[in-house]
Amino acid sequence: MNDDNQPPAGNQSARRMKIRRRRFLRTAAAAALTLSGASARSLADNRKSAQRSRKNFDVIVVGLGAIGSASLYWLSRRLGSNVLGIEQFPLGHSNGSGQDHSRSISYAYEQTSLARLAVSAFETWREVEADQHSSILQETGGLVFGEVDGIYNDSMDRLAGKLGELGLPYELWDSTEAMRRYPQFRFRDNIRSIFLPEDALVDANKGNAAHICGAVRNGARMMAETPVVDIRIVDGGIAVETDDDVFECQHLVLTAGAWSPGFLKKLGFELELSIYEVQQTYFVPDDLDRFAIGRFPRFSYKSPNILHGFPVYGEAAVKAGLSDKNLNRKIEIGERTFAVNQEAERRLNEWLDQWIPGFAKSVFYTKPCIVTRPPDSRCIADSLPDCPQISFAVGAGMAYKFASLFGKVFSQIAIDGRTDYDISSVSFSRSGLSNKQAMQNGDI
């Protein structure tokens, strides 16, 4: 007699169905726990639908990180159960780059189209907050500063001009005024700052959870812990193959981050993408009140090596990170170690001790993550060239602020064949990519 938990060897399909059902149950449970208020009825309905062997969908999303979960949410608002999301890891994992307490959102772009996208990004997050009854944005104010006699000597003036042109609120400060407003800083006389009162942080953990749970409530199908092994163009659509099944769709959203190069190669495209190990460090400050929201801003130092930081949020600690191409280790996806870069942590400590005494009294913990960048280090959100049935995004370490907006853009492209937003600055046709000939059309 066979054990009840061991189906006969000839009944492989039943075994696979049980495995798929367990995966979906874990997915639904994770979504329910991640954000309070997830509808038990919607999860139950979704579990029932998971038991049916549906293989065809209008849209499939591969990769449910920041932009992928947003795409699933916005697609599900219009397509309901006709959209499927597939994720190779458990939901809420930290293997990518979009899971943490805080990411920045700001209008501080010199490029008009990026600044306008940032305005739309604020509006889109507010729409998600209202729909999901969740507080995702936290206004902090932002201080962007640089040296007037350095390599970016005119960047503050250019940024101020662009903000003024777009009618966005800002104040231009010299070092004396900046330290009067925020005495935590120690600026030299050659520092000029722009204060952006509407700058905020985005709670990435809450944002991802809102998207996932909203998609579940809207009826979307999800499969977590399910690696995709192949993607190919077929007659009338796109086939997405997992270890157990092949699913087909009319439109694919590919948001697999550092795992994207392999999928693009299978589809006949070569995109120059570089993967870097970077890290964010949480510090115990000398005084929590001095660095609390309302008393200390989100900040960014414009220099060849960008440094940024946040007030107390998510932990009883502040957070900062240093983006230095000479320190960030370039890797292949299989080489990731999750090890702390001690030299980068030391350099960050030195800078903070000099410029913001008391901010970094001691290290609480350092969180490594990976970023995937094209040649110009700017995010991409666009349809693949000559392949409009596939939408593709890569965050480049700057895209979390745009995550929900890009999800909305991809829902419009997939359903309507166009988007209401100007995405030229994050498209494949922008000069930073085409001039370097990074994208080469293959055999599709």
Note whether 251 and 231 are within 8 A (CB): no
pLDDT (0 to 100) of residue 152 = 65
Buried b (16+ CB within 10 A) or exposed e, 42-69: bbeebeeebeeeeeebbbbbbbbbbbbb
Q: What type of residue is 80?
A: G
User: Token digits for 286?
Assistant: 């000398």
To 5 degrees, how large is the angle CA 189–CA 360–CA 331?
100
Query: pLDDT means per 10 residues in the chain (444 residues)?
Result: 39 42 43 40 42 82 97 98 97 86 95 96 98 97 89 82 96 97 96 97 97 97 96 94 96 96 92 92 98 98 85 98 83 88 93 96 94 93 96 95 98 98 95 48 27
To 5 degrees, how large is the angle CA 198–CA 199–CA 202?
125
What pTM was estimated for this model as a whole? Answer: 0.87
Buried b (16+ CB within 10 A) or exposed e, 119-146: ebbbebbeebbeebebebbbebbbbbbb
Using CA atoms, how far apart are residues 231 and 351, in angstroms rounded to an integer? 45
pLDDT (0 to 100) of residue 8 = 39
DSSP code of residue 89: S
Chain centre to alpha carbon of residue 142:
20
pLDDT (0 to 100) of residue 43 = 40
Q: For residue 10, give every residue at least 6 positions away whose Cβ sits within 8 Å of its Cβ, in sequence order, or none.
A: none
Note whether 226 and 87 are within 8 A (CB): yes
Using CA atoms, how far apart are residues 111 and 382, in angstroms rounded to an integer? 18
Using alpha carbons, list the distances in angstroms from residue 291 to 36, 60, 184, 193, 358.
Answer: 29, 43, 8, 19, 9
